[in-house]
Amino acid sequence: MSNYRSFMFTFDAGPHRGSLEQDQIKALAEGFVRANEMAIAHNPGRYPRTIEDAGLRYIDPPTCAGVKGPCQPVLGAGPLVDTGDETCFGLACFHCALLRVNGDPRAYVDIIPRVGRYGPISGKWHAVVVTGSGVVLDTQAIVEKQQRSQRTG
């Protein structure tokens, strides 16, 4: 088991319930990416080279005691690989770290409005990875596609 811990913060509570602004969430993402980079760099044989090789599963943000609405757990690289379950934010932070360690130092996590049937949902965010060449990767979609192919394959 890793000694890297997990953290939790309110992510989807909406603009009137003390949620973090988009730029603050981006700053938190950068911190988690860097922490994951350090873990991966210090234990290179423990981690996959790509997100597709990680065998991870997307989970919806849980409801936490004392928090109105979903809260955002974030696992460090070690616990994430151990459990395999993570939300879009944690998946994106881990994916970005893998890209950086494996040759794309300009990759970053972007926080974009979550989109519903009728357009953006106020106060709801989604985490994606942007590569150094500007390609947007939806890590949640990548992981969910793998989950579906494993069930049918």
CATH of the domain at 107: 3.10.620
Look at residue 73 in the predicted model and tell me its pLDDT. 76
Hey, is 114 helix, strand or coil? Answer: strand
Look at residue 3 in the predicted model and tell me its pLDDT. 46
- Does 1 fall in a domain? no
- Does 60 fall in a domain? yes
- How far, in Å, CA of 136 to CA of 141, rounded? 12
pTM (two decimals): 0.84
> Which alpha helices (H) appear in the chain, and where do they start and end?
22-42, 77-83, 88-101, 139-152
- Tokens at 68, concatenated: 């109105």
- Does 19 fall in a domain? yes
Strands 85-86 and 57-58: parallel
Look at residue 63 in the predicted model and tell me its pLDDT. 72
- Does 29 fall in a domain? yes
Look at residue 24 in the predicted model and tell me its pLDDT. 83
| Nearest CA among 97, 107, 102, 109 for reference residue 134 | 107
- How far, in Å, CA of 101 to CA of 51, rounded? 12
Look at residue 90 in the predicted model and tell me its pLDDT. 93
Q: Are 86 and 98 within 8 A, CB to CB?
A: no
Backbone angle region of 84, left / alpha / beta, with phi > 0 → left and psi within -120 to 50 → alpha: left
What are the b/e assignments for 33-59, b being 16+ CB within 10 Å?
Answer: bebbbebbeeeeeebeeebeebebebb
Look at residue 13 in the predicted model and tell me its pLDDT. 44
- Does 2 fall in a domain? no
| pLDDT under 50: residue ranges of the chain | 1-4, 11-18
CB neighbours of residue 64 within 10 Å: 15
Structural domain range at position 42: 7-152
CA dihedral 83, 89, 94, 95 (to 10 degrees): 120
- How far, in Å, CA of 142 to CA of 30, rounded? 21
The tally of domains found in the chain comes to: 1
